[in-house]
Every structure is written in structure tokens, then in C-alpha cells.
């Protein structure tokens, strides 16, 4: 990667080191078992790493020419460090932090800038600060007096302790329509690109559902919990892509890109055989981990997990278009001090929101410019992918002109379409997953992982990959390590 000038310290850095020594690890397990991991996204890379760390022979097959899945960072024009997927991770994301430490890249982590803590919601075509405490909530213009009264009355809401329901129904029942439309809807769109009327409350907000069952009122539950855990944002100096790039480096000899899987079959001796399309070869394994999107796993496993196919195919994915734009600071009406903003659907814009990347982390753009990461699409706007580039950029510019009064043309633009960006945890998702896992247990040696299981974040994905690796070890008669 070319040399890059840090936009705060103005120090020349050489880019992400290509070689880091791994933290000293004792691998007392030596085993001749062979495991094939299909898919080299974050889940597949992490699962392969955990298995290799325990002394197993691992092969990773990836259909695309690059590994990392949606977690990708790119340096454009030697000036803009753009994230094509996730932008950050929370300080509470233990799975990311532990893995970074093991991979010796924890020294590359950077904290978000202090000015980035404020978040905004577009309300009546004006940016409104998201209230971060009781005093800010009382004075906020984001809610009417009746809306605030409805939120405060949550303590008297009758709880519902059985059955799944939509996020919209859950929030509306507790806090009313204004909280749903002005905050939760854009928040869910920003994380899941989803439709609150269809997403499952118990899958999206399991802690809130459990809190309701325990305390009835969410407000009473929060008051009793009063967690002091900080949720600061972090990334890596060279972006989130540092993590999969390091895993790829560790697994390089075991990673096969541009490799398409034709099928998986059970051999007479009980082992599994993977047939590869090009070059046409067969590989035997004692266990297989499928770390591909749900519909891809359904196609590959059609013969071995026929009863799980309907549930796998029933997991929908939302499309997203990621648009990066950069502007000269002198052309901005005011500094972009904050994390960014979200746009509720009721505002009537195609744009979902914008992250102010250069305000969030240092080193994302030259000092005299501001880099924004903007989003269009989602489950409620599937047709967005059909728009041409010019139309997409026009919608972004309209959204930025309305919210930030930016009328100048961007000095840089980048656009990426992602057809299957984020799995949708729709109503019944947990039951669907339970069915998939029950069927997988009937096929010894077959394991599934991915962000369609227990959370879409990078940390959740890594944690499920670790859990899956432990299940593989148990299947092979190896006791998983007590500590990771």
C-alpha cells in the first residue's frame, strides 16, 4: 500500500505492516484430522484460524478473488481510506479485541475522535441531535409533548411475555409511534438496513425482550441495570480490513481463492468429499464448516441437509449501496462535528443516512477535506439497485444538501452495490435457526456459521465462528481450549 499522510499528525506512515509475529501461543493439540472451510468472509476466516490454532489441517475455499467478505477497506487515490463494509467496532466487542490481540494487531487500533460522539436524526428536513440523557431528552425537539409523555408512560405498559413480534410492534407498544418513527426505525435501518415491521424483536433486541419478561417495563429494567459499560468506538489505523487481511496472511498457504464449490457428498467410510468446479478436483475432509450466506449454504448442502433447505432459503438479505463522497472543508457550511446522521423513512428520502468518516477516525482523508460514507437501499427499497450511478449520486447529493446545506460538487466519489448485504432477522428467525441447527446435528461433520446466526456485527460473527470451531473440535474428539 502506498505511503499515506495522516490527516492529524501529518506523519508519513508506511501503511499496514505485512508481517506481524503472532502472540506466543501453546498449541498442545496435534491432530491429523482435516477440516474444510467454505467461504472466506469474516466468519470463515475466523473459524479457520481457531481450528488451525488447535493444530488441525485446514483448507479454506472462497469463490471470489478476495477474502474478507463485506469487511473491506480500500485506499483510493492515495488520499481516501474508505470502508466498503463495517466502519468500526465497540469497546465492548470482546471477540474482536481478543482476536486482534492474538494476531498482534491490537497496537493498530485507534479510538474515535471526541467530536464524533454526537449523532443526529433528520427531522422535518433539519438535523436534530439524538438526546443522550434525560435532560437532553426533555428539551429535544425530536419529540412532541405528547410523544414525550407517551415515552414516560412506558412504566405502565402491559408486558407481553410469550411469542415473537415485530420490532415495530414491540417499540410501539412500549414507547409509542414517535419513538418508533423518529429513532428506532432509522436506527434499525442504519444497522440492519431492515424493515421494523418485519424484523423480529427477540432476534434484534434479545436483551430488551428478556428485560420485559423480567421487569415488565423497559424503563424499570434499565434503572435496575444501570450498566456503567462504556461503548466507545474503535477501528484500526488502516481500517477494518486490517482484521481479515491479517487472518488471510496467517492462513495464506491454506486459502484458495477463485474456487467454486460444486457439491458436498458423504463417502462410504463416513468422511465428506468436496467437489470443486474449476479446476475439477475432489477433497476429502473429516469435517466441513460452511461460512457462506444462507442461500449459498442451501445450494451447496442440498443433498446432505434437505430438510434444512427451506429454512436457509427463507432468510432474506437486504441490498445496500455504499457511496463515499469527499468535499473541501472550505465548501462546507459548517464543520462536520459528529458521528453522522440517520434519516427516518417518513422523511421521504431515498438516502438512509451518512457517517462522517473523517470526523470519526483520523487518517481517512486529507486534513483540508471531509469524507462521508452514505447509504441507500435496504429492505424497504429493494429497487435501489436498479438505479444507475448518476441517479444514485443525485439522491445522495439531495440528501446532503437538505441536511447539511452542501451545494458544492464532491471532489471524490466512490460507489459500491451489495446485492446481499445484511441478513434480515425477520419474525420467526430464532425458530428458523433452531430448525437449521437440529437438521445439521443429523449430518455428522457438517457445521454452519455466519452473520445470519446470532448477530450481524463483526464481533458477533467472530464469536459464533469460535463457537462453531469448538463444536468441530468436540466432533473430532478434541477438547476445546479452556481459553481463547
294 and 276 in a common domain: yes
Q: What is the mean pLDDT of residues 361-385?
A: 97
Q: Is the pLDDT of residue 423 over 70?
A: yes
Q: In this structure, are residues 110 and 361 in contact, taking their beta carbons and an 8 Å threshold? A: yes
335 part of a folded domain: yes
CATH number for 334: 3.90.660.20
Q: 225, 253, 268: which is the final residue of a domain?
A: 225
Q: What is the pLDDT of residues 328-360, one digit of tens each?
A: 999 999 999 999 999 999 999 999 999 999 999
300 and 434 in a common domain: yes
Q: What is the mean pLDDT of residues 55-61?
A: 96
Predicted confidence at residue 127, as pLDDT, reads 97
The number of distinct structural domains making up the chain is 3
The confidence band for 4, taking pLDDT boundaries of 50, 70 and 90, is: very low
196 part of a folded domain: yes
- What is the rounded average pLDDT for all residues in the chain? 91
3 part of a folded domain: no
278 part of a folded domain: yes
Q: 225, 258, 286: which is the final residue of a domain?
A: 225
Give all strands of the β-sheet with 261-266 in edge-to-edge order. Answer: 261-266, 272-276, 281-285
348 and 299 in a common domain: no
419 and 277 in a common domain: no
CATH number for 167: 1.10.3110.10
Comparing 29-43, 187-201, 437-451, the range with the smallest average pLDDT is 29-43
Q: In this structure, are residues 446 and 272 in contact, taking their beta carbons and an 8 Å threshold? A: yes
271 and 400 in a common domain: no
327 and 370 in a common domain: yes
- Residue 395: give the domain boundaries: 317-423
Q: What is the mean pLDDT of residues 170-191?
A: 95
Predicted confidence at residue 15, as pLDDT, reads 47
214 and 349 in a common domain: no
170 part of a folded domain: yes
97 part of a folded domain: no
User: b/e per residue, 438-455, with b = 16+ CB within 10 A?
Assistant: ebbeebebbbbbbbbbbb
Q: Where are the beta strands (DSSP E) in 258-347?
A: 261-266, 272-276, 281-285, 287-290, 317-328, 340-342
Q: What is the mean pLDDT of residues 423-436?
A: 97
Predicted confidence at residue 365, as pLDDT, reads 98
Q: What is the pLDDT of residues 137-170, one digit of tens each?
A: 999 999 999 999 999 999 887 776 568 999 999 9
Between the alpha carbon of residue 76 and those of residues 4, 84, 339, 354, 400, the distances in Å are 11, 12, 22, 19, 22
CATH number for 441: 3.50.50.60
136 part of a folded domain: no
Angle at 346 between CA 419 and CA 174, to 5 degrees: 100
419 and 448 in a common domain: no
322 and 310 in a common domain: no
More reliable by pLDDT, 15 or 221: 221
440 and 392 in a common domain: no
Give the whole-number percent of the chain exceeding pLDDT 70: 91
Cβ-based burial of 278 (10 A; exposed 0-12, middle 13-18, buried ≥19): exposed
49 part of a folded domain: yes
Between the alpha carbon of residue 432 and those of residues 77, 308, 435, 437, the distances in Å are 45, 9, 5, 9
402 and 334 in a common domain: yes
283 and 217 in a common domain: no
Q: 194, 225, 256: which is the final residue of a domain?
A: 225
Distance CA 426, CA 433 (A): 11
Amino acid at each position: 500500500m502506498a505511503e499515506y499522510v495522516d490527516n492529524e499528525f501529518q506523519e508519513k506512515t508506511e501503511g499496514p505492516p505485512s508481517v506481524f509475529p503472532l502472540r506466543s501461543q501453546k498449541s498442545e493439540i496435534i491432530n491429523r484430522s482435516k477440516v474444510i472451510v467454505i467461504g472466506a468472509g469474516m466468519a470463515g476466516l475466523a473459524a479457520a484460524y481457531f481450528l488451525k490454532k488447535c493444530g488441525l489441517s485446514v483448507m479454506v475455499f472462497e469463490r471470489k478473488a478476495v477474502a474478507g467478505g463485506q469487511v473491506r477497506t480500500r485506499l483510493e487515490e492515495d488520499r481516501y481510506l474508505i470502508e466498503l463494509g463495517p466502519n468500526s467496532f465497540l469497546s465492548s466487542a470482546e471477540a474482536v479485541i481478543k482476536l486482534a490481540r492474538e494476531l498482534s494487531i491490537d497496537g493498530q487500533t485507534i479510538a474515535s475522535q471526541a467530536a464524533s460522539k454526537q449523532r443526529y436524526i433528520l427531522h422535518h428536513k433539519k438535523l436534530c441531535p439524538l438526546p443522550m440523557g434525560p435532560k437532553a431528552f426533555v428539551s429535544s425537539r425530536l419529540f412532541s409533548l405528547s410523544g414525550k409523555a407517551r415515552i414516560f408512560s412506558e412504566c405502565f405498559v402491559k408486558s407481553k411475555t410469550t411469542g415473537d413480534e415485530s420490532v415495530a410492534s414491540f417499540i410501539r407498544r412500549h414507547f409509542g409511534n414517535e419513538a418508533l418513527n423518529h429513532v428506532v426505525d432509522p436506527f434499525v435501518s442504519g444497522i440492519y438496513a431492515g424493515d421494523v415491521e418485519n424484523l423480529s424483536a427477540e432476534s434484534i433486541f434479545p436483551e430488551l425482550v428478556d428485560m420485559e419478561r423480567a421487569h415488565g417495563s423497559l424503563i424499570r429494567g434499565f434503572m435496575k441495570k444501570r450498566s456503567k459499560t462504556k461503548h466507545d468506538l474503535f477501528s484500526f489505523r488502516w481500517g477494518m480490513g486490517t482484521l481479515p487481511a491479517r487472518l488471510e496472511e496467517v492462513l495464506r498457504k491454506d486459502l484458495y481463492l477463485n474456487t467454486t464449490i460444486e457439491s458436498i457428498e458423504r463417502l462410504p467410510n463416513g468422511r465428506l468429499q468436496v467437489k470443486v468446479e474449476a479446476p475439477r478436483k475432489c477433497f476429502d475432509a473429516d469435517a466441513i464448516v460452511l461460512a457462506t450466506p444462507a442461500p449459498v449454504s442451501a445450494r451447496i448442502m442440498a443433498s446432505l441437509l434437505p430438510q434444512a433447505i427451506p429454512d436457509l432459503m427463507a432468510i432474506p438479505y437486504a441490498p445496500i449501496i455504499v457511496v463515499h463522497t469527499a468535499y473541501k472543508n472550505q465548501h462546507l457550511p459548517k464543520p462536520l462535528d459528529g458521528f453522522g446522521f440517520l434519516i427516518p423513512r417518513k422523511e421521504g428520502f431515498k438516502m438512509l443516512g451518512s457517517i462522517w468518516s473523517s470526523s470519526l477516525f483520523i487518517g481517512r482523508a486529507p486534513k483540508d477535506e471531509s469524507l462521508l460514507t452514505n447509504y441507500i437501499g435496504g429492505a424497504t427499497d429493494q429497487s435501489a439497485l436498479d438505479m444507475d450511478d448518476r441517479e444514485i449520486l443525485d439522491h445522495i447529493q439531495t440528501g446532503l444538501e437538505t441536511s447539511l446545506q452542501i451545494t458544492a460538487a464532491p471532489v471524490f466519489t466512490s460507489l459500491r452495490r451489495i446485492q446481499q448485504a445484511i441478513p434480515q432477522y425477520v419474525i420467526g428467525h430464532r425458530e428458523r435457526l433452531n430448525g437449521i441447527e437440529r437438521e445439521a446435528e443429523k449430518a455428522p461433520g457438517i457445521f454452519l456459521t455466519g452473520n445470519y446466526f446470532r448477530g450481524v456485527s463483526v464481533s458477533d460473527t467472530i464469536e459464533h465462528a469460535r463457537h462453531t470451531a469448538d463444536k468441530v473440535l468436540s466432533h473430532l474428539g478434541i477438547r476445546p481450549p479452556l481459553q481463547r
